[in-house]
A and B are shown apart, each in its own frame.
Chain A
């Protein structure tokens, strides 16, 4: 029973990370109708940047904040300088660009930072008061940080003028231009926020898995499963999908399939969702009027 509870809690904290990356995927999908396969590598690369800053003696939370700014700028620049040029290209071209970005970021990380795995510090002390037998302080901390980031992003989109303009640009770019919204800028900002969410997920995940160029490759698959399960066009579905995938993955890994092949749980979820409920649990059915 205790082991079960432990696995559930572990699933929830992992799920927070998957949910964060899933929301990043959903944001980009909603605004451009593309799945950003390079989302994970972007997060991994920015996590290396924060590692470099921390190694250089920058205090953790300062490095955290600087990394968020870097991640925002890098992601916005990728949209503005690269993807904007292929926005009207066939979808296969865009997919190839994403895969190119994935390989490029991965190779750059290996080249610049080396491929040896590195321990990554957690800002949450091992003996902090909020740790319990089931939930280590880092797991509590990362769940709280991820949820707080999600809440901030939702608040931004729901209550600010710029957030409204970004939603409008995603829903109807033509009408958005007609009310004076600079749609290309909004897409770049949207990428920026997605990059920021990924950076938070990367920095929170790294202390659990060590930092290596493949830090996010598994997480991206779980996040994709979470996004599809929650409904790829529903931002509210992403974190819920993340928690479900996190818990399912941990329970299946412990009791059903063993830890070696638990990534296949995510693949199974992806296949089942796509086969039986492509709109996900909370997505809207896409109806094409003809």
Chain B
């Protein structure tokens, strides 16, 4: 059986400057994979390359065995790839309820959407009370929760998470990662997680890749990576 997401020899560039070079990476069904690396290593670009957003890519990208590289972003989303972008990307002028409705925009199964809304609000009860509120008035943590909730409303096969901890208080980050863990246990959603907070990411993930200036320099079990001396020094501060 083929992996949920598979990248083979993927390169990416903005204009002339190459950002990623010959990336080979896989995310198995239902697995959480962490992508570590310093600022500017190309982590965000890798997520953008997967959904063909704002970046030119080369190489092969497969979702459940089928080539998706070159398809439009909206088309890739329709295949079940939900992307929680850096900076959350909530629709600030729209209400929480409208943001969630947009998450299920491509779905036609109204009953399923209603059930999923109840389930997603179960993960993030705080959003339940805020449904009529404009998304821009939420706190940073609530907006991040909304962004994840919106992505889940797609009922995705693959969830791309770009620094869900960014700019949030440690308590809030802890909570969001607990919820991500619950979601991963209860549903078979594969996750590709870009994270500065390597310790949290490696706790959640089963597998990890380390990106350095556009190339993968290390990959393995999350526990192995977490035990690696150079990773500990560079990303875990030990």
Contact = CB atoms under 8 A, between A and B. Distances in A.
A175 to B, nearest CB: 4
Contacts of B102: 164-165, 168, 176, 179, 181
Contacts of A178: 51, 53, 73, 77, 82-83, 85, 89
Given A172-B91, A175-B85, A182 B74 contact: yes
A181 B105 contact: yes
Given A164-B101, A164-B102, A174-B53, A180 B93 contact: no
Contacts, number: 62
Contacts of A183: 74
Given A164-B98, A171-B93, A171-B94, A179 B85 contact: no
A164 B99 CA distance: 9
A177 B85 contact: no
B73 A168 contact: no
A165 B106 CA distance: 10
A175 B89 contact: yes
Contacts of B98: 164, 168
Contact of B78 (A161, A172, A176, A180): A180
Contacts of B154: 179-180
Interface string B77-120: 11000110100011111100010011101100000000000000
B89 A172 contact: yes
Contacts of B106: 179-180
A138 interface: no
B54 to A, nearest CB: 7
Nearest to A162: B105
B150 interface: yes
B67 to A, nearest CB: 19
B105 A174 contact: no
B117 to A, nearest CB: 14
A181 B91 contact: no
A182 B77 CA distance: 11
A177 B53 contact: yes
Contacts of B78: 180
Contacts of A172: 89, 91-92
A29 to B, nearest CB: 15
B33 to A, nearest CB: 20
Contacts of B83: 178
Contacts of A177: 53, 72-74, 77
A290 B91 CA distance: 19
A180 B54 CA distance: 15
Contact of A171 (B72, B77, B91): B91
B105 A180 contact: yes
Nearest to B54: A174
Nearest to B88: A175
28 contacts: A161-B105, A164-B98, A165-B102, A165-B105, A168-B98, A171-B93, A171-B94, A172-B89, A172-B92, A174-B53, A174-B89, A175-B85, A175-B90, A175-B91, A177-B53, A177-B73, A177-B74, A178-B73, A178-B89, A179-B102, A179-B103, A179-B105, A179-B106, A179-B154, A180-B77, A180-B78, A180-B106, A181-B74
Q: Sorted from nearest, which 8 A-B pairs have the closest CB atoms?
A: A180-B106, A180-B77, A175-B89, A177-B73, A178-B83, A179-B102, A182-B74, A180-B74
Given A172-B91, A178-B53, 10 more contacts: A164-B101, A164-B102, A172-B89, A174-B53, A174-B89, A176-B102, A179-B105, A179-B150, A180-B105, A182-B74
